[in-house]
Amino acid sequence: MDLGLRDKRAIITGATKGIGRQILELLIAEGCNVATCSRSIEAVEACIEKASTRKAQVFGDVCDIRDQEEYAAWIDKMVEQMDGVDIFIPNVSAGGGMDSEKNWWKNFEADVLGTVRGVEAVIPHMKENGGGAITMIGTTASLETFAGPQAYNALKASLYTYSKQLGQFHGADGIRCNIVSPGPIEFPGGSWDMIRDTIPKFYEKTLRDHPTGRLGKPQEVAKAVVFLSSPAASWCNGSNLVVDGGFTKGVHF
């Protein structure tokens, strides 16, 4: 199956490491040019140098997506450099935490506004293009109770409603919007790597709750994100794709 990604142009925030990096590399492997950002210029430069291939190019610049003006300027610059944008994946998250009210502000700023502001900036370009695809990153922690009551779970939840409505609202412009719900994903240097060492009982319980007895891999999330973002998923709009190896118990009617 051809995903139809060759020579497309994707913008993904914060993809120099982790799951985002896997999405970026997979898009590049499919021949899609990708623009990304990081708060560290060294990380962006290293990513451009390492992940670019003869088939597709990585673009990027330093950007703190929490700064509205900086974020908007970065998107404009990336659109200009790639001469348009077909795919947008708002990937930056402030992560979990229930030790301070500050977490609510941080998740609102990074997870919610980081998505909303990006979406609003790319939509005019996509309309101009005649279409595009937005793929948001949700979490199974929004779908079912998980870990503890916290801003990450609750504010990520707002993206489900937002993404569904975007798909309806902009469907006529050829813009699709979907969301992926990854379960716990483990990789060296990731949160679950740290949880395995520092909160082993919670880690082991989470592992036991997975039918396959393991956590997900970044590549497994990346494949779902790349599919939904690709022209191959042309009839997927407003969908929520749960990528959790069967971890959650809720039935998706």
| Binding of other proteins by 199 (CB under 8 A) | yes
Smallest distance from other proteins to CB 83, Å: 34
Smallest distance from other proteins to CB 185, Å: 11
Angle between helix 191-198 and helix 200-208 axes, rounded to 10 deg: 120
Q: b/e for 195-233, b at 16 or more Cβ within 10 A? A: bbeeeeeebeebbeebeeeebbebebbbebbbbbbbbeb
| Binding of other proteins by 97 (CB under 8 A) | yes
Contact 66, 114 (CB under 8 A): yes
- Considering only 8, 14, 18, 228, the residue that binds other proteins (CB under 8 A) is 18
Q: 107 vs 115, which CB is nearer to other proteins?
A: 107
For the segment 98-157, give every residue that binds other proteins (CB under 8 A). 99-103, 106
| Binding of other proteins by 55 (CB under 8 A) | no
| Binding of other proteins by 193 (CB under 8 A) | yes
Angle between helix 114-129 and helix 151-170 axes, rounded to 10 deg: 20
For the segment 152-191, give every residue that binds other proteins (CB under 8 A). 188-191
Q: 147 vs 232, which CB is nearer to other proteins?
A: 147
Q: How far apart are the first and last CA of the chain?
A: 28
Amino acid at 186: E
Q: Which two tokens stand for residue 115?
A: 């998505």
Smallest distance from other proteins to CB 111, Å: 14
| Binding of other proteins by 200 (CB under 8 A) | yes
CA-nearest of 135, 118, 132 to 228 is: 135
* Residues at the interface with other proteins (CB under 8 A): 17-18, 95, 97, 99-103, 106, 188-191, 193-200
